[in-house]
């Protein structure tokens, strides 16, 4: 959607072919059907969070007519646990908001707070740079274990969906710089109050159609072929001036590999190299367990949790890192969304562990699972020195997605920035 909007903004027409029946990819709405008497619930295909530093996502949302005050709840960043410990960012300009939050953190000793302040100042003095092969665990080796468990690990797995021992320190520092230490409001949490389709993709589709472009769902791009004489490309036999592959890495690699079969000889090696780099990425799963308080008369009329989002103490038998009170975010009262990043294990075991974790940490007994969404290929493993595929594949052929080379991990903002760059890229004159 971001790529198509960029093309149309530049005065061209776009044709969007979406293989699924619903726009949005991994950030889309789904319908959960309960028992025979239960009304269907519109849920999200996993709980997503935006932050104030997602400048391109927010710009595009405004451009296609999304009412930001309705769609998103803006809150100061907080990493609070149910027992009240953790951090709460004050309404101060950066970097003072982060420094004051650390200094005032509850549940940590004075020496632990000072250790994190020293680490934060050290990262700032080094301009948030480190060796390319450093992991997040390497960056934080001197920090007390409680800070690792209650701050670094939750932040790392939320941002990079990769455990700290394996996650890229370089990317982690970039995320910290642009979120916690950027401009005013950059660290704010923006929690969706409408389904993910309405946050951007469905609004973008309506905007594109209103501009005379074509958005077709349920249509898969089966074949990709080059037309070297004219410089055009064929998708399913239909010619286009340029093509953006806005799909998963495996689907993009499949299309590029198909193109190799009929491509001119000079194009073969670059196309094969690109397809190989896209296929080589390793992926991590994210699971979202939706659960409801059991009986209508026992459901509260208001909030279940003390805040719309709380951190959880994740461990081997407690896989969720965060829980969201959907009743405070425009959803049904009593509906909770538990998020387990870098998830492992089968669905039934995961649900049982999350419900036990909810009773243990939140005091909520008797929660009933409503729907469990497991995206097995939710994000790429953001490891040190990772070589990601380039945006441009050939003249007039580009790819976009959160896995494409860029400064960010697999996030909504990374995907959107990649889409905008690809949409603008196809408009450039061919390079020599």
pLDDT digits (tens, 9 = 90+) for 353-368: 999 999 999 999 989 9
Which of 73, 417, 113 lies closest to 403 in space, CA to CA? 417
Alpha-carbon torsion, ordered 98, 54, 283, 259, to 10 deg:
-150
pLDDT band for 383, please (50, 70, 90 cuts): very high
Which of 22-36, 57-71, 177-191 has the least mean pLDDT?
Answer: 22-36
Give the residues across from 380 on adjacent strands.
283
The arithmetic mean of pLDDT across residues 157-174, rounded, is 94
pLDDT band for 390, please (50, 70, 90 cuts): very high
Which of 145-149, 374-378, 395-399 has the least mean pLDDT?
Answer: 374-378
At a CB cut-off of 8 Å and minimum separation 6, what does 218 contact?
A: 18, 19, 20, 21
pLDDT band for 295, please (50, 70, 90 cuts): low
Beta strands 189-192 and 224-227, pairing class: unpaired
Distance CA 187, CA 78 (A): 9
Ranges of each domain in the chain? 81-150+167-179, 283-380
Instruction: Render pLDDT for 65-102 as a digit per residue (tens, 0 to 9).
Output: 999 999 999 999 999 999 999 999 998 888 888 889 99
Instruction: Render pLDDT for 304-329 as a digit per residue (tens, 0 to 9).
Output: 999 999 999 998 889 999 999 999 99
**DSSP secondary structure, 360-403, as one string:** HHH---S-EEEEEEEEEEEEE---TT--PPPSEEETTEEE-STT
CATH architecture classification, 283-380: Alpha-Beta Complex (3.90)
Residue 389 clears pLDDT 50, i.e. is over it: yes
Residue 301 clears pLDDT 70, i.e. is over it: no
Instruction: Render pLDDT for 35-75 as a digit per residue (tens, 0 to 9).
Output: 445 678 888 888 889 999 999 999 999 999 999 999 999 99
The arithmetic mean of pLDDT across residues 206-219, rounded, is 97
Alpha-carbon torsion, ordered 292, 293, 295, 297, to 10 deg:
-120
pLDDT band for 29, please (50, 70, 90 cuts): confident
Residue 336 clears pLDDT 90, i.e. is over it: yes
């Amino acid at each position: 959607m971001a790529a198509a909007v960029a093309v149309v903004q530049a005065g061209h027409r776009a044709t969007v072919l979406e293989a699924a029946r619903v726009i949005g990819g991994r950030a889309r709405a789904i319908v959960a059907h309960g028992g025979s008497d239960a009304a269907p619930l519109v849920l999200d295909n996993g709980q997503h969070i935006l932050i104030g530093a997602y400048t391109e996502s927010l710009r595009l949302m405004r451009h296609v007519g999304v009412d930001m005050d309705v769609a998103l709840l803006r809150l100061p960043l907080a990493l609070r646990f149910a027992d009240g410990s953790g951090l709460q960012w004050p309404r101060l300009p950066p970097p003072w908001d982060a420094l004051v939050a650390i200094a005032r953190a509850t549940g940590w000793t004075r020496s632990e707070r000072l250790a994190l302040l020293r680490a934060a100042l050290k990262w700032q003095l080094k301009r948030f740079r480190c060796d390319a092969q450093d992991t997040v665990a390497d960056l934080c080796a001197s920090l007390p274990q409680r800070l690792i468990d209650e701050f670094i690990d939750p932040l790392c797995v939320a941002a990079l969906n990769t455990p700290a021992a394996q996650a890229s320190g370089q990317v982690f520092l970039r995320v910290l710089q642009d979120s916690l230490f950027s401009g005013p409001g950059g660290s704010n949490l923006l929690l969706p109050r409408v389904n993910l389709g309405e946050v951007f993709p469905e609004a973008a589709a309506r905007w594109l159609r209103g501009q005379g472009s074509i958005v077709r769902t349920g249509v898969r791009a089966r074949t990709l072929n080059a037309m070297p004489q004219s410089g055009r490309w064929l998708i399913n036999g239909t010619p286009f001036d340029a093509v953006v592959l806005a799909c998963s890495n495996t689907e993009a690699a499949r299309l590029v590999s198909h193109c190799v079969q009929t491509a001119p000889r000079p194009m073969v090696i670059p196309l094969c190299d690109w397809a190989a780099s896209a296929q080589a990425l390793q992926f991590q799963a994210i699971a979202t367990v939706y659960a409801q308080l059991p009986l209508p008369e026992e459901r509260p009329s208001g909030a279940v949790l003390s805040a719309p989002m709380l951190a959880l103490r994740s461990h081997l038998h407690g896989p969720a890192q965060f829980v969201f009170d959907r009743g405070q975010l425009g959803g049904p009262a009593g509906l909770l969304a538990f998020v387990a990043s870098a998830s492992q294990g089968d669905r039934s075991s995961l649900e049982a562990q999350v419900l036990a974790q909810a009773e243990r940490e939140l005091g909520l007994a008797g929660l009933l699972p409503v729907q469990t969404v497991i995206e097995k290929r939710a994000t790429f493993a953001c490891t040190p020195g990772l070589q990601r595929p380039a945006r441009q594949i050939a003249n007039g052929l580009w790819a976009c997605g959160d896995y494409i080379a860029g400064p960010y991990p697999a996030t909504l903002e990374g995907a959107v920035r990649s889409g905008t760059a690809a949409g603008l890229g196809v408009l450039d004159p061919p390079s020599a």
